[in-house]
Amino acid sequence: MPQESEDKGIKLVSATNIGVNKGGRWIFRYVDLDVYEGELVYVVGANGSGKTTCIKTVLGLIACDEGSVWHAAGLEIGYVPQRIAVSPTLPITVRRMMNLAGRFAAAQIEAALEAVGLERLGDPQITTLSGGEFQRLLLARALIHKPGLLVLDEPDQGVDLAGSDALLELINKIRHDLNCGVLMISHDLDRVMEPDSDVVVLIPHEHDDPLASYAAKPVNLACSSQT
Amino acid sequence: MLDDFFIRALLAGIGLAIVAGPLGCFIVWRRLAYFGETIAHSALLGVAFAILAELDLMIGIFAAASLVVVLVYMLERQELMPIDSLLGLLSHGALALGLLTLSFFPTFRIDLHGLLFGNILAVSKQDLLVIWLGGTIAIATLLWIWKPLVAATLNEELAAVSGLHPDRTKLIFGVLLAAVVAAAIKIVGVLLIVALLIIPAVTIRPFSASPESMAVRAAVTGLAAVVGGLYLSAQIDTPTGPSIVLIALLAFVLSRLALTMFRARKPQNP
């Protein structure tokens, strides 16, 4: 059951005090995170602070060793990982890839490819795509399912600056069109500090004792007035 | 017609190749060759199972191979060691246990050579029934898990987020592989079964644009290799397994020669 909240609308996911421990070391810890419909939430943090592990935990791909993750019932999630290794021996074309997890009409596929600017690509094998093109294809693949929540892991990695602006603009447009929540890892602090977004900061853990340092507590910056 | 040993071997081999083709593609795409070897190595343990429980040979092998598949599935998640080390452990553990158990039955005349390399004379009418019945079930199962399996092959995390249960799919795929190993024992033998899975798939890879077309073509290529290999084996009296694998290898070399010549002629349009 989606939870209604007075000011923010419908809650999509909620992580409460989550942490992941690997071989006795906490990858990240003490993270609280909510994403509401139509909301943009950034996850930022230094290299090695566990950003990717954190969103994978929120997605349910990794089990958390403490805390809990809640998903709204029937929530459709679109996930765009940072970079994925694709087997070079698997023959698969761009359009076939759009049908990997569902069956969509040609017109729907066309529309999703057009939304990310790949409509002129034709139907090549995915192994021939450039890094930026492949990233856009992953985004199109996530979009076609009309997700309630879009989760992106540094989507502008490996894309040049102009491309990065266009990509983030595109993600914002999608957010407004679909009214979906967006959870996104970013390393670009300038962008993160813009209004209309929430920020979750991950701080690397030197200590396992929460009292050892108050800095080990992540900051939940609500620098937004949801306008 | 089924009284002719050659026809029986041929029909068994055809049934085997049809299932091995698509499964072999996944072995190539997902780099599971060593996983395939591990399952194959458990076949002798399955022979021991079959003798102990007085089961059909292929059923015993299927049971042992499935057991190893489930063990790999469970131990892999513990992340105790790299996957190839884990497979080596299970593979040779199962082989050693199988050989040891078999050595307790000296009164049974076990055709070890036949089990390892295939024996054209070994296919019975009952084997044919088991292979074609099992093969039909295997193909139906494969069609059922096709979509999630292809999605998980591209990327397991994407498949998981889409709710396609890649773990469950992987386990079912492993059991299908166990069935192929069981069906293969009399035709190509346990030592060469992985070759019948891999060679047709890599032979046909450059000529395929989609997973589906590659799977079908691999089955056809494997079928041709089985028919050719069995014919060769009957003609010059060689073990069937090596004959089939050599024909498959020949097809691979010829395909690459053809590809090279084609590319040399049309450099602009590879």
Question: For residue A207, what pLDDT is reported?
Answer: 45
Question: For residue A226, what pLDDT is reported?
Answer: 35
**DSSP label of A193:** T
Averaged pLDDT for residues B100-128: 82
Question: For residue A167, what pLDDT is reported?
Answer: 79
For tokens 């190749």, name the residue.
B17
- Residues in A closer than 8 angstroms to B155, CB to CB, are 81, 84, 86
Do A32 and A41 meet the contact criterion of CB atoms below 8 Å apart? Answer: no
Domain boundaries along the sequence of chain B = 5-265
Do A10 and A148 meet the contact criterion of CB atoms below 8 Å apart? Answer: no
What is the second-level CATH architecture of the domain A1-74+147-227?
A: 3-Layer(aba) Sandwich (3.40)
Q: What is the torsional sign of CA B35, B38, B42, B43? A: positive
Instruction: For residue A100, name the pLDDT band (cuts at 50, 70, 90).
Output: confident
Put simply, the answer to whether B210 touches A93 (Cβ < 8 Å) is yes
Q: What angle do CA A38, A39, A44 make, to 5 degrees?
A: 150
Of A172, A202, A170, give the one whose Cα is nearest residue A185. Answer: A202
Of B68, B26, B20, B27, give the one whose Cα is nearest residue B45. Answer: B68
Gyration radius (Cα) of chain B, Å: 19
Q: How many CA atoms, within 13 angstroms, populate the side-chain half-sphere of residue B6?
A: 10
Averaged pLDDT for residues B144-152: 94
User: What's B5-265's CATH class?
Assistant: mainly alpha
CB-based contacts of B260-268 (< 8 A; 24+ apart in sequence): none
Q: Are β-strands A25-36 and A9-22 bridged in parallel, bridged antiparallel, or unpaired?
A: antiparallel
Model ipTM?
Answer: 0.82
Percent of chain B with pLDDT over 90: 68
Instruction: For residue A103, name the pLDDT band (cuts at 50, 70, 90).
Output: confident
- Chain mean pLDDT for chain B: 91
Q: Among partner residues B28, B30, B150, which is closest to A100 by beta-carbon distance?
A: B150
Question: For residue A213, what pLDDT is reported?
Answer: 41
Put simply, the answer to whether A100 touches B147 (Cβ < 8 Å) is yes
Averaged pLDDT for residues A209-218: 43
**Weakest-pLDDT range from A89-103, B48-62, B96-110, B249-263:** B96-110
Question: For residue A102, what pLDDT is reported?
Answer: 82
**DSSP label of A101:** T
Question: For residue B1, what pLDDT is reported?
Answer: 65
Mutation site for A-interface testing, chosen from B78, B161, B205, B214 by largest number of A Cβ within 10 Å: B161
Question: For residue A204, what pLDDT is reported?
Answer: 61
Instruction: For residue B211, name the pLDDT band (cuts at 50, 70, 90).
Output: very high
- Residues in B closer than 8 angstroms to A78, CB to CB, are 161
pLDDT digits (tens, 9 = 90+) for B2-16: 678 889 999 999 999
Residue intervals in chain A for CATH 3.40.50.300: 1-74+147-227
Question: For residue B163, what pLDDT is reported?
Answer: 87
pLDDT digits (tens, 9 = 90+) for B13-37: 999 999 999 999 999 999 999 999 9
Percent of chain A with pLDDT over 70: 79
Higher-confidence residue of B197 and A192: namely B197
Q: Among partner residues B29, B157, B214, which is closest to A61 by beta-carbon distance?
A: B157
Question: For residue B246, what pLDDT is reported?
Answer: 95
Question: For residue B118, what pLDDT is reported?
Answer: 84
Instruction: For residue A215, name the pLDDT band (cuts at 50, 70, 90).
Output: very low
